[in-house]
């Protein structure tokens, strides 16, 4: 249909052109060589003859040399010499109320045929008129360089030579599309490489950024890529970069959603505050593949207005809905110990379990240990003040290279094996014992360094701080708090290190925690405290610490006194109570956190799998516990037989 129409138009145009050439020749002979153009009005696209409208279609431009070229207000006029420089230029005497005007023959003929350049055409040369002779040369050059004029020139040449412009344009468009696709793929792959490697895309300037530098390097291998980037500079803008990365992330998440579809999964979620003080919730999904390998996928970071149970619960439900993950397939959820997540009545875990009873909630055992120790420190003033002093002291040294150099010089002079102060990071679970042990081993070095800083510093604030730290660490209260903390942190840090193993199961973590609890209970005796007290006294005498003494008793106002306060007779009795109180807080904290109602289900599941693998008889209690919890997920009558498959796998792998 389209080819037939294009051939009909070409036939019609050729007939009209021949008729116009004949009429032009006759009129030229009759008028002394000038073409007759008196029938053309202000709109050059139509010619009125009575009630009929005739389309004027020509192959050659009308370029008379001796027409009536009138001068304008600036005493300037059209110059026929322009025909030689701009072959597309033509003159129309009837335009501009008979004063004449210039047009672009190519753009004018394309407009008559309703052929578009696909861009912005300059209507002044095709539909209106051009008569500003003062700026004629500049306007002609600009029009000749325009993309629309060049494209229309190509199209009209194909029409005048009788070629099928539709097929030619279609082939050209396909080639252009293939090139653009190739270049866009290079931009996408460049962004993908930077994102995978975790490299920053932008730099101090766009020219020095990793993205621009890598694209410049790839221009040497991709033909025409550099020229295309110069013309299509918007495809490397910041907004386009963000859109491309967003498209790649959505595509990746759709693939992950398809892989997770229909499988049982576990949820891992935690909240954090970024540098802009924006609350963000990170949600991860944990699944088991067909090869029984564990995979963890991050669904995303979701900004939340407030970190309460209702907001977090709705955010998790919304994220699962976006990836078509029904909550009915969720079998486990792991959160931290905050009340928002682990609250017994309205926490996120309780809300999830109300909707799906088969969800088991767990808490990181290593995190539980750290929280138990933090509760102990927070509730015992002497240990809380001690750790605050140690943290400030370590930061005091490490914040200045000059003070670190003083510690190093004095440590080498005193023969200390350690020449630096270890950091005490509050968010790392296994560094407390090493940091405190370092303070104990080089206490003399620390004292000498503080004396040196106080004597040599010209800053009175530094002098007073150094003197304050020196007085604080020279007391017996600091010494006994150091020994008590080391005894507890040594056990908690060793337990945290053991639980960190990637192959440690939930049951092994519980058993290790119970062993630690038993060791703490064994330490809660007068005999162990007497040994600790003797070691502390010997260490204090060796390090020239102050003698133990009772603090001054301060009484509350009489109206608040309901009974007489307990008064310790000796310093040993005072610190004995601190010893027992610290152990009680740690023991109760660990026991509370490993006695969750979901722990028996996890232990029973692990017992079934390990027992079946070792070809032993499955415990009926564990079997009943697992079947009761997971309900219709498992068939209790067939589960025992199904577990025997593990025996065959074990025999094959052994």
Q: Per-residue pLDDT tens for 473-497?
A: 999 999 999 999 999 999 888 888 8
Residue 522 is encoded by which pair of tokens? 């064994």
Of the candidates 357, 380, 611, 408, the one whose C-alpha atom is nearest the C-alpha of residue 481 is 380
Q: Does 392 score more than 60 pLDDT? A: yes
Q: What's the pLDDT at 633?
A: 81
Summarize the confidence of residues 330-357 as an average pLDDT.
Answer: 85
Share of the chain above pLDDT 90, in %: 24
Q: Does 15 score more than 60 pLDDT? A: no
In a 13 Å sphere around the CA of 426, the CA atoms on its Cβ side amount to 10
Confidence band, pLDDT 50/70/90 cuts, at residue 306: confident
Residue 35 is encoded by which pair of tokens? 């073409």
Summarize the confidence of residues 51-71 as an average pLDDT.
Answer: 69
Q: What's the pLDDT at 2?
A: 38
Superfamily of domain 263-362: ATPase, nucleotide binding domain (3.30.420.40)
Q: What's the pLDDT at 177?
A: 86
Summarize the confidence of residues 331-339 as an average pLDDT.
Answer: 82
Name the one residue in this structure whose structure tokens are 């009772």. Answer: 550
Summarize the confidence of residues 619-628 as an average pLDDT.
Answer: 82
Q: Does 600 score more than 50 pLDDT? A: yes
Summarize the confidence of residues 522-539 as an average pLDDT.
Answer: 93
Q: How many residues does the chain have?
A: 654
Q: Which residues contact 359 (CB under 8 A, 6 or more apart)?
A: 330, 331, 332, 333, 349, 352, 353
The answer to whether 490 and 433 have CB atoms below 8 angstroms apart is: yes
Q: Does 3 score more than 50 pLDDT? A: no
Whole-angstrom Cα distance, residue 563 to residue 362? 44
Confidence band, pLDDT 50/70/90 cuts, at residue 409: very high
> Which residues on neighbouring strands pair with residue 52, listed in sequence order?
49
Q: What's the pLDDT at 474?
A: 92
Confidence band, pLDDT 50/70/90 cuts, at residue 414: confident
Q: What's the pLDDT at 316?
A: 92
Kindly report the average pLDDT of the chain as a whole number: 81
Confidence band, pLDDT 50/70/90 cuts, at residue 60: confident
Q: What's the pLDDT at 520?
A: 92
Rg of the Cα trace of the chain? 44
Residue 431 is encoded by which pair of tokens? 């560094």
pTM over 0.85: no
Whole-angstrom Cα distance, residue 143 to residue 150? 9
SS3 454: helix
Summarize the confidence of residues 342-349 as an average pLDDT.
Answer: 82
Where in the chain are the domains?
A: 2-163, 172-245, 263-362, 369-548+568-593, 599-653
CA dihedral 206, 210, 213, 218 (to 10 degrees): -130
Query: 273-305 pLDDT, tens per residue?
Result: 877 888 899 999 999 888 878 888 888 889 888
Of the candidates 369, 549, 580, the one whose C-alpha atom is nearest the C-alpha of residue 484 is 580
């Amino acid at each position: 249909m389209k080819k037939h129409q294009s051939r009909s138009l070409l036939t019609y145009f050729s007939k009209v052109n021949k008729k116009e050439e004949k009429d032009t020749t006759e009129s030229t002979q009759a008028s002394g060589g000038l073409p007759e153009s008196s029938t053309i009005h202000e709109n050059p696209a139509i010619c009125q003859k009575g009630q009929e409208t005739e389309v004027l279609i020509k192959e050659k431009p009308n370029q008379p040399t001796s027409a009536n070229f009138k001068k304008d207000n600036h005493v300037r006029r059209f110059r026929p010499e322009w025909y030689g420089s701009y072959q597309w230029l033509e003159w129309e005497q009837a335009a501009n109320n008979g004063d004449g005007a210039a047009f672009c023959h190519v753009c004018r003929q394309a407009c008559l045929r309703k052929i578009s350049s696909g861009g912005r055409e300059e209507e002044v040369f095709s539909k209106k008129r051009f008569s500003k002779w003062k700026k004629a040369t500049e306007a002609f050059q600009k029009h000749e360089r325009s993309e629309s004029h060049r494209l229309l020139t190509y199209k009209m040449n194909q029409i005048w030579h009788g070629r099928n412009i539709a097929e030619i344009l279609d082939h050209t468009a396909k080639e252009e599309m293939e090139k653009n696709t190739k270049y866009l793929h290079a931009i996408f792959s460049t962004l993908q490489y930077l994102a995978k490697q975790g490299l920053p895309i932008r730099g101090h300037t766009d020219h020095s950024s990793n993205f621009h530098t890598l694209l410049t390097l790839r221009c040497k291998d991709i033909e025409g890529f550099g020229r295309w980037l110069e013309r299509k500079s918007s495809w490397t803008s910041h907004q386009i970069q963000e859109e491309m990365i967003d498209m790649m992330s959505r595509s990746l998440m759709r693939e992950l959603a398809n892989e997770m579809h229909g499988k049982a999964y576990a949820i891992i979620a935690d909240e954090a505050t970024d540098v802009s003080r924006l609350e963000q919730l990170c949600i991860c999904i944990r699944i088991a593949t067909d090869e029984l390998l564990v995979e963890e996928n991050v669904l995303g970071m979701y900004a939340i207005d407030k970190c309460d149970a209702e907001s977090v619960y709705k955010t998790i439900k919304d994220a699962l809905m976006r990836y078509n993950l029904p909550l009915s397939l969720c079998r486990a959820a792991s959160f931290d110990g905050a009340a928002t997540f682990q609250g017994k009545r309205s926490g996120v875990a309780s809300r999830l379990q109300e909707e799906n009873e088969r969800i088991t909630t767990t808490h990181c055992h290593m995190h539980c240990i750290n929280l138990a120790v933090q509760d102990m420190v927070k509730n015992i003033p002497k240990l809380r003040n001690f750790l605050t002093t140690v943290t400030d002291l370590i930061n005091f040294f490490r914040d200045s290279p000059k003070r670190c150099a003083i510690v190093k010089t004095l440590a080498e002079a005193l023969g200390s094996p350690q020449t630096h102060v270890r950091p005490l990071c509050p968010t790392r679970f296994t560094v407390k014992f090493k940091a405190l042990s370092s303070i104990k081993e080089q206490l003399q070095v620390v004292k000498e360094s503080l004396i040196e800083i106080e004597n040599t510093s010209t800053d009175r604030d530094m002098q007073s701080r150094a003197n304050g730290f020196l007085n604080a660490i020279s007391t017996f209260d600091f010494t006994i708090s150091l020994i008590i903390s080391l005894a507890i942190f040594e056990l908690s840090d060793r337990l945290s290190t053991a639980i960190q193993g990637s192959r440690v199961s939930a049951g092994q973590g519980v058993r290790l925690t119970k062993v630690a609890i038993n060791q703490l209970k064994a330490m809660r005796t007068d005999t162990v405290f007497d040994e600790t007290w003797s070691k502390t006294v010997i260490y204090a005498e060796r390090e020239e610490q102050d003698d133990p003494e009772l603090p001054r008793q301060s009484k509350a106002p009489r109206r608040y006194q309901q009974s007489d306060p307990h008064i310790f007779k000796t310093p040993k009795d005072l610190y004995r109570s601190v010893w027992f109180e610290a152990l009680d807080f740690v023991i109760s904290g660990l026991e509370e956190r490993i006695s969750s109602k979901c722990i028996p289900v996890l232990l029973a599941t692990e017992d079934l799998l390990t027992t079946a693998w070792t070809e032993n008889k499955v415990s009926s209690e564990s079997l009943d516990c697992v079947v009761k919890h997971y309900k219709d997920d498992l068939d209790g009558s067939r589960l025992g037989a199904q577990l025997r498959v593990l025996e065959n796998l074990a025999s094959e792998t052994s």
